[in-house]
Amino acid sequence: MKSVNMNMKKRAIRAALIGAYLALGCILFVSFRGHTLLIDNRDTETATAPDRITVSVDKGEAVSFFKGDRDRFAVSGSEHTIRIEFGDGRPAFEGTISLPLKDDTYLLSIPRFLNGEPCLEVFKTAPEPPPDEEEALPSDEFMAD
């Protein structure tokens, strides 16, 4: 009877450890999920891009932007602080964005971010066009024996 009770305790402890490892794995995945953040300083329909700014993400290295520039930042986690310093003497602007877990690459529009508009969108590259049929299939003249 004691051996049955000990086996149940061992199984319960093992199940609890497996559950704890799974929970820890999920927490680490959410906390350290990597993304590519593209910072875009181009005019939009509703806002004009500032000229000569310096942008830093999460107190990282500051990168200079001119009007029309775009640069890439590798970030991990979901909450990020964006700091924008202006070259014309205006006070610095700092804001926070939240990246969803779903996609890998996001585009942040600086003019929209400064205006308080929705500034984050999923960035997708254009799919490659299908190859031409003439190039994809071998011609009949090489197939004849």
- Element at 74 (helix H, strand E): strand 70-76
- Cα separation values, 75 from 32, 58, 87, 97, 98, Å: 9, 8, 25, 12, 11
DSSP category for residue 84:
E
pLDDT per residue as tens digits for the range 33-58? 888 999 999 999 989 999 999 999 99
pLDDT per residue as tens digits for the range 6-33? 888 899 999 999 999 999 988 887 777 8
